[in-house]
Structure 1
Amino acid sequence: MLTVLASCGQGQGAGTPGAQPTAVAGADKLVACPPTESRPPVSNGLPDITLPCLGSGPDVRLADLRGPLVINVWAQWCPPCRDEAPYLAELQKKAAGKLQILGIDYADPRPELAVKFARDRELNFPHLVDSEKLVRKTFKVGGPPVTVFVDKDGKFTLHNGVLTSQEQLEQLVRERLGVEL
């Protein structure tokens, strides 16, 4: 999967599986993707797909993730994603130690602009790359943004469309994950 990012952003062919992608300027300044414990997939849980990290760190298998976790599917070319980015940045500050946040850069042909987007908007959480739209069916992505709420058992619920306020996002976190901020 890592070679997908390299071929998408740099026009290179396939490489060795597990090899590091071609460096994207500024990617080393993003929060690294953490290693995850291998777990069996959950019924009605996250899909069993592996995505490369936009910054540094290992590929992440979504089926291994458990919550409380908020996943935001975004793209730098998406105006509504730009509108909701401040709410996610603020959630990261308020939720430290209470829940995790993960971004998925979706169908984005310009990884260097995705890195700039995440850095400029202070989205200080790990980001994955889904240049092949692998989460489209599971997360019902007609287009970004989509926000996914993953509970402690690995089951998820979706919020399709733009988040319109900090209050809305925090209410969704309370209702869907039981996390008070």
Structure 2
Amino acid sequence: MIRRRGAVALAVGALLLAGCSSISPPDIKGPGRSNVKVDTPELRDLKASTKIEECTPGTAAPVEDGLPSLSLPCLGGGESVDIGALRGPMVINLWASWCGPCERELPIYQKFYAKHGEKVAVLGVDLQDNRPAAALELAKNSGVTYPQLADPNSDLAGKKPIPAIPALPAIIFVDADGRFVVDGVPQLIFREIKSVAELEDLVEERLGIEL
């Protein structure tokens, strides 16, 4: 685990106490990039059996203190998305099929999206996961409808200004101007969400939105 000072370091310590999963899935051994494909005819058929919405690329230019310019593919097929072009208010749910806490909280994100999606966008990123079919099945069984990107090699982690991501689940907050860093602090929390009310409180605190 990479040590970081300040708020990020405190967040990392807190996530370990909270029992969040390691960033390394159980079936990945040793270094090296995964060659897993997240867009195949079989995966497109599987995605078609879900209610997951299509990925929508942003149109804005990257901003200072915003997310990095990084193109991620749509899980199960669709348009790739440059996350640096996205604007909020938005909550990005980082998860994986092998992460137990992620499985428990996916239905909560969906309930939040159903209740507040018109005011606060929700986007999922299946991170460090070489089982896209399992991820789609989990999303389907959890009733997820908000768009899903895939980052099987965790390219997002450590790409400035995003710090290292040592564990899942995690939440990224993006404001209406596309900012991810506020007063020098990345708006990234390592935490399993236990209720819609908890997520609502975090959104109000981090994005300054009254829900």
TM-score normalised by the chain length of structure 1:
0.85
- SS of the counterpart of 1:115? helix
- The answer for unaligned runs of 5 or more in structure 1 is 11-20
Alignment of 1:16-27 (within 5 A): 21-23=39-41, 24=43, 25-27=45-47
- Report if aligned partners of 1:35, 1:57 keep a CA contact under 8 Å in 2: no
Query: Do residues 141 (structure 1) and 171 (structure 2) align?
Result: no
Give 1:9 shift: 4.4
Q: 1:139 to 1:60 in 2, by over 3 A?
A: farther
Give 1:178 shift: 2.5
Alignment of 1:71-90 (within 5 A): 71-90=92-111
- SS of the counterpart of 2:106? helix
- Report if aligned partners of 1:33, 1:55 keep a CA contact under 8 Å in 2: no
Tell me which residue corresponds to 1:121: 142
- The answer for unaligned runs of 5 or more in structure 2 is 1-32, 181-186
Give 1:59 shift: 0.2
Give 1:85 shift: 1.3
Give 1:121 shift: 0.5
Query: Do residues 178 (structure 1) and 178 (structure 2) align?
Result: no
Letter aligned with residue 101 of structure 2: P
Cα deviation per residue 1:37-89 (whole Å; 9 max; x = unaligned)? 1x321111101110000134210001000100000000011001012112101
Give 1:139 shift: 4.6
- Determine the C-alpha separation between the residues in 1 that align with 2:156 and 2:166: 11
TM-score normalised by the chain length of structure 2:
0.73
RMSD of aligned alpha carbons: 1.9
Q: 1:49 to 1:61 in 2, by over 3 A?
A: same
Equivalent residue in structure 2 for 1:61, among 64, 70, 82: 82
% same residue: 37
Tell me which residue corresponds to 2:68: 47
- Determine the C-alpha separation between the residues in 2 that align with 1:55 and 1:178: 33
Tell me which residue corresponds to 1:33: 55
- Report if aligned partners of 1:53, 1:59 keep a CA contact under 8 Å in 2: yes
Query: Which deviates further from its counterpart, 82-91 or 61-70?
Result: 82-91
Cα deviation per residue 1:70-120 (whole Å; 9 max; x = unaligned)? 000000110010121121011011113111100000111111001111111
- SS of the counterpart of 1:26? helix
Tell me which residue corresponds to 2:151: 130
- Determine the C-alpha separation between the residues in 2 that align with 1:110 and 1:49: 21
- Determine the C-alpha separation between the residues in 1 that align with 2:135 and 2:144: 11
Letter aligned with residue 175 of structure 1: E
